[in-house]
Structure 1
Amino acid sequence: MSNTKVTTRERRKNKIKAKILSNSPKTKLLVFRSNTTNYAQLIDPATGKTIAAVADGQKATGTKSEKAKQVGIEIAKKALENNIKEVVFDRNGYKYHGRVKAIAEGAREGGLKF
């Protein structure tokens, strides 16, 4: 098996998942990014079900990073509505750079603590 971008991301994802699942009773903030859209969701650690989710819709304007920051701010609002103040950030195997970093910064601006 060759080391493509996908397989290396999958390896990083599994390492991160093992650390997060073994140590934390906190709610997980999961990030996914496609070529066009940024997604963030809050996942309950006990049940594994989604509490809240946000995506930057087609109506959003600006660069991908600006849209990602708005996703972070929106997910923070939804978290605070559900009385969630601290989360564990699951970057889903992506490098902490660009849009993933923008979502994290937006969530911190919105009032979440990692």
Structure 2
Amino acid sequence: MAKTNPKVTARYKRVRRIRKNMLGTSEKPRMRVFRSNKHIYVQIIDDLKKATLVSASTENKEFDAADLKGKCEKAKKVGLMVAEKAKAAGIEQVVFDRGGYIYHGRVKALSEGAREGGLKF
């Protein structure tokens, strides 16, 4: 953790505090969110195998945001995309890891999109 920005170090502390009580298994993998200024990324991870099972982001080639306005709408669409991919991979339930971010705005929109797509958490 080489970043010295107080916001970045505070988020890393929150991540560690949240993650020590959270574990993704093959029956119920962990859905991890990362939010940058322009994009949002989500991965479904099996922590026991140390493998990413499914991933989606606003930078994917199959992501089409031509008709969407705003980052929250894009995040919701990413949530729907990851839910589709998870269903295809046989994943129905996940543990939601908000990545140290507040459950608000884009993170909330992504989780609502994933729930609409059929994921349970």
Q: Please say whether Structure 1 and Structure 2 have the same fold, judged by a TM-score greater than 0.5.
A: yes
Shift of 1:47: 1.0
Summarize deviations over 1:16-58 as a string: whole Å, max 9, x none: 110103xx53201110011100111111132121111111138
Partner of 1:87: 94
**Counterpart-to-counterpart distance in 2, 1:42 and 1:71:** 13
Runs of 5+ unmatched residues, structure 2: none
Aligned match of 1:47? 49
Given candidates 7, 10, 17, the residue that maps to 1:8 is: 10
C-alpha RMSD over aligned residues: 1.7
Residue 98 (structure 1) aligns with: 105
Is there any run of 5+ residues in structure 1 with no aligned partner, and where?
Answer: none
Higher helix share: 1
**Is 1:63 the counterpart of 2:70 in the alignment?**
yes
Q: What is the aligned length?
A: 111
Calculate the TM-score normalised by the size of structure 2.
0.85
Cα distance in structure 1, aligned partners of 2:75 and 2:14: 21
Query: What percent of counterpart residues are identical?
Result: 50
1:17 corresponds to: 19
